[in-house]
Amino acid sequence: MAGVNKVILIGHLGADPEVRYLNNGTTVANFRMATSENRLNKAGEKITTTEWHRIVAFGKLAEICRDYLNKGKQVYIEGRIRSRSWEDKEGNKKFTTEIIANQMQMLGSPGGQTSSPGFDKEVVEPEMPPIPDDDVPF
């Protein structure tokens, strides 16, 4: 039986997409996306848990992300999980897990920022080291 690798996320962008181009001219857009879950603890207090995801889009979808997405925008992403590893210039092994997007739908009001419970200026993204272009194996 074949496996299934499918991810569906609805969340907000943590930063504007970063765009680069592969040697063959393919556009690649990378951005971070937060998904939040609200629940009540035993004391009845609202607890919000935020998970951060690395999203990668290629080709025409990457160009659309570049042109229309920005920090804070709410989006629907559909894609697959990819984990990979590589060695940096110092020979250290690096790992990352990312979502390779194959569909994106902008949510919220056209041209405007959207807000949602669990995503506001109080949410702080954990420090994640950037991946230099020369360390990426493709």
Q: What is the pLDDT along the chain (138 residues), one digit of tens a residue?
A: 789 999 999 999 999 999 999 999 999 999 999 999 999 988 889 999 999 999 999 999 999 999 999 999 999 999 999 999 989 999 999 999 999 999 999 997 765 544 444 444 333 444 445 555 555 555
Beta bridge partners, 75, equal: 11, 106
Closest CA to 120 of 74, 86, 85: 74
Q: How far is CA 96 from CA 81, 112, 123, in A?
A: 11, 32, 22
The first and second tokens of residue 120, run together, are 């506001």
pTM summary value: 0.73
Domain ranges of the chain: 7-129
* SS3 call for 18: strand
Q: Which fold has domain 7-129?
A: OB fold (Dihydrolipoamide Acetyltransferase, E2P) (2.40.50)
CA angle 17, 18, 19 (to 5 degrees): 110
- How far is residue 96's CA from residue 100's CA, in Å, rounded to a whole number? 12
